[in-house]
Amino acid sequence: MHNAAFAACGLDAVYHAFDVRPSRLPAAIRAARELNIQQLAISIPHKESVLEHLDHVDETAVSIGAVNTVTLKGDQLIGHNTDWSGALKALQRKIEPKGQRAVVLGAGGTARALTYGLIREGAEVFVLNRTESRAAELSKHFGAQGSGSLDDLGDLNPQIIVNTTSVGLRSHTSPVSEQAIGAGCVVMDAVYEPEVTRLLSEAEAQGAQTLSGKWMLIHQAAEQFHLWTQLEAPLEVMSEAFDRAGSNGHSSNLTGPSLG
């Protein structure tokens, strides 16, 4: 997506993916400095741990407690978070969050971004997670409406459900029961491979509207592109690049929201 956007805008830049083990993150950041790499996209599982290795983190990313975008300014590495705004733009393709009851599934970096963004937009947010204590901590941190286990979804009757767990990633499983999904709600899965997860297929069968993780990935990447270049991202070009990668069997090379 980024390389397609760079080419469309005539920019002399290239985007590469690097697989960095958690124990090697400090070395990877030092290497990025030494190589004068201008921008970094931070993916699973580094979005929270990367904060301590940066020179400055913007106010929004500090509030969220997670960084997915880093820009080199002079000799300073600056951390940002575009997951929250990208996720909201994706949701707004189907629904305006203001005044809606929303449930965030998960308690990792992407869940933090979604909870922050949904509350900022005026939604009533509940956080559900397999480990309830993590959901409670996240809920308390952001002042969400409440928290609980994944099994509590059926009691909440939300208008918006967003899965940020890794359940469904390259496996045909769902984090919640099909019967817990109400007809008429909007269900978005941050998982983008496969593009239609079991959660989304079951939600559609229940009469819900669905949003693939593709759109969250594209919109957060478009926000990254704007931060890096100060140019408007060519959204259609990036969407087509995503589709081409998937049709060629290369979707596993895409980097995007942290899931967990």
Catalytically active residues are 47
> Which is nearest to 152 in space by CA: 105, 187, 221?
105
Distance CA 158, CA 73 (A): 42
> Which is nearest to 160 in space by CA: 192, 107, 119, 191?
119
SS3 at position 77: strand
**CA quadruple 171, 177, 179, 184: dihedral positive or negative?**
negative
Phi/psi at 189 (nearest 5 deg)? -115, 125
Distance CA 135, CA 106 (A): 7
Q: Say what the alpha-carbon torsion angle 135, 136, 140, 141 is, to the nearest 10 degrees.
A: -40
Report the greatest alpha carbon distance in the chain. Answer: 53
The gap between the terminal CA atoms of the chain, to the nearest Å, is 23
CA-atom Rg of the chain in angstroms: 18
What token pair was written down for 209? 């509207």
**Amino acid (1-letter code) at residue 141:** H
